[in-house]
Amino acid sequence: MTASKQERMLAQYDQAMSEAVQQAYYGHSDFYNYGYWADGATCQSEASEALVEKLVSFIPQKRGKILDVACGLGASTRQLLKHFEAEDIQAINLSEVQLAKGRTNAPGVQFTYMDAAHLSFPDNSFDNVLCVEAAHHFKTRDAFFKQAYRVLKPGGRLVMSDIGGGPKWVWQANLLKDAADLKAHQEKAGFEDVLVDDVTDDCWGGFCRNLKRWPSEARSRGELDTKQFLYIWIFSRLYVPITGIGVKKYFLTSAVKPVTAAGGEAPNADGTAKSIDPAPPQTPR
């Protein structure tokens, strides 16, 4: 049977996250995001941590239950433990490999195999939902927004970083033109008080600059042998222009489910309310 586009993507991420050079670049932190460089980060692990902290800063009250969507290797989940109790955090992903590592990184947190576009949680389950640099891969982003809206409690908040990608890099339904386009998609799902900040240079730009200088710096510190240095040097020169075809914009966003929202209702296109039923539980592969 031919692997689906999503299965191939997940396999590629599993492989990339396990590579020794990738792990060295991220300082063996188990992060895997472009990071936020505007606050003075000096290495990729610091920038990746700063990105999660920036998103968490959008949450006024660090209390209640929070869902980490597409949690990767659990580095973002581990960081949430600085602000929330383990029993109040749930994390989901579609990779059993990544979930297993997440359980090591964030003990006591519930990690579950689940599709972000088909959440099986009941209505009004969470006070906050976090999603770091992943929604452009979901099938689709709009389906995820509707599900996030449904599982949030009234007054709950969705905070996320997101990528505006090129036509061959994401699902066609996930193409974003600009910050206003992303805001419109979230408002269509029912969210209000939507804030979208274009931080392309602070995130993608900072990552690109760091990636280009890192091989020589790591080599001088003795962290790379000659073969590794040549590999990552060539990779760093090719990755930016090739991936740049897809990474056109990088956004940070915060959105609130209205306090007056009833249950898991989300509006129709004409503004009237409709209910979205939760998806049935997913069976792990």
Per annotation, catalytic residue among 133, 192, 217, 265: 133
CA 81, 95, 284: angle at the middle one, nearest 5? 105
Long-range CB contacts for residues 111-118, cutoff 8 Å, separation at least 24:
111/71, 111/74, 111/77, 113/282, 113/284, 113/285, 114/282, 115/279, 115/282, 116/69, 116/70, 116/92, 116/144, 116/147, 117/143, 117/144, 117/147, 118/143, 118/147, 118/279, 118/282
Give the containing element (helix H, strand E) for 161.
Answer: strand 152-164
Catalytic residue list contains 133: yes
Instruction: Report residue 84 CA to chain centroid gap.
Output: 18
Compute, in degrees rounded to 10, the torsion defined by CA atoms 128, 249, 40, 14.
70
Q: From residue 203, give the alpha-carbon distance in Å to each of 30, 34, 121, 180, 250.
A: 18, 6, 32, 19, 7
Catalytically active residues are 133
